[in-house]
Amino acid sequence: MQEVMKEEVLRKFRQVFGDTEGVRLYFAPGRVNLIGEHTDYNGGHVFPCALTIGTYGVARKRQDRKLCFYSMNFDQLGLIESSLDELTPGGDQDWTAYPKGVIWAFAQRGMELPCGLDLLLNGNIPNGSGLSSSASVEVLTGTVLRDLFGFEVSNQDLALIGQFSENKYNLVNCGIMDQFAIAMGKKDSAIFLDTADLSYEYAPISLQGAKIVISCSNKKRGLGDSKYNERRSECETALAELQKVVDIRSLGELTEEAFETYKGAIRDEVRQRRAKHAVYENQRTIQAVAALRAGDLAEFGRLMNASHVSLRDDYEVTGKELDTLVEEAWKVPGVIGSRMTGAGFGGCSVSIVEDGAVDDFIRRVGEAYQEKIGYAADFYVVEIGDGPVVLQA
C-alpha cells in the first residue's frame, strides 16, 4: 500500500508542478481513539493509537514567498496558491486552512519560513470520518517544516503546534488528543495520555486473535459546525459551578464517588449529565487500560460499550447513524466491544472483533445500516502504526 501511495503522489506532483526535482516525501498517520471520548478538554485520560492509514505528502522549497497547495483528495479544487504574507486566522474556507495554520503557528513561535513551498497531499483516511484527517495534515505539515527548514522541534512540539494552529488559526476549540496521538504514535501500542499534564505511557495492544474494525457512517460532519463547542462550554460552566464547593482544576480530577457527592452544585440537569460523562468516561479509560494490561479483553470491550451508552445518553453526541452502527455491532457474535469514536454527530465507530467474525460483522452491520439509514457504511480493518516519518529525502 505504501509503495503504491508513494508512486501516486510523486506522479501527481510531477503532473501538477512540472518536475520532482528537490522534493522530499512524508507520511503522517490518522488515529483512532479506543476509549476516552470528550475527556481531552476536561483534563482526563484518553487512549488513542496511530493507524497505518494516513496522509502522504510531497514537498519542496520555492525561490519566492508563494505557497502552492494541491490535494488529490480535493482534485476539483485544483492548485491553490497563497503567500507567506497572506496568512489570516479564520480566513480560509478550504482544506489549505490546515497547512497554512501550521505555517502561521510556526511563525508565532519565532520560526518564520525564509521562502515558500510546494506541497501536494494524498490521504487514504476517509474525509469527514472522524479519524483525524485534519490533525494528520497538521502533523505532516509540521514534519515537512522541521525537515525542510531545520527547525528544532520535537514530535510533542508538533502536536502542540498543531493544536495551537487549529485553536487560533482555524478557530476550532479542539483538545490535544488527535495531534498527540498522531505525532507520538508507536506501532502496536496505544497511548495512555493524561491530558491534564501531557504525561503518557505506551500500552502494548495485544488483541489475542481479534482485529480493530473501523465502521465509517459516511455522514459528513465538521468539528466547527457541530455542537462540539457547545459541549465544551457546558462542561466549563459545570466545572465553574463545582469549583464553588470542591477544589479542582478540571472534571478529570473527580472520581465517580466525588462527583455524586458534589453534583448538586451543578444547577442544570443537562450540564450535570455532561459533567457526569466527562468524569465517568475518564474513570472508564483508566479501568480499560488496566484491563488490557491484565489481558482481560472482555472487560475492555464491556467498558467500550459503556462508553458508547454514556456518549449517547449523557453527552448526546452520537446520532442515529452512529447508534445504528454500534447497536447492530453489539448483536453480532464475536464482537468484543464497540463504540463511537471521535467528536460524534457522524464519523466512525470502532469495534474489536474476533478474527473469525470479521466478515460476518461487516456483512451484517453493513446490511442493517443500509436498510435503516438508506445509504452504505464503509468498513476498514486497521493496524496500529508509527508516528510521522520522512519516507524519502
Catalytic site positions: 178
Q: Parallel, antiparallel, or unpaired: how do β-strands 210-216 and 348-354 relate? A: antiparallel
Q: Which cell numbers hold the place of 298?
A: 472482555
Q: Are 352 and 336 in contact (CB under 8 A)?
A: yes
DSSP string of 303-361, one letter each residue: HHHHHHHHHHHTS---HHHHHHHHHHHHTSTTEEEEEEESSSSSSEEEEEEEGGGHHHH
Query: Minimal CA–CA distance to 57: which of 67, 48, 70, 68?
Result: 70
The full DSSP string for 54-109 is EEEEEEEE-SSSEEEEEEGGGGGG--EEEETT---TT---STTHHHHHHHHHHHHT
In 3D, which of 31, 34, 41 has the Cα closest to residue 284?
Answer: 34
Is the C-alpha dihedral spanning 51, 54, 56, 62 positive or negative? negative
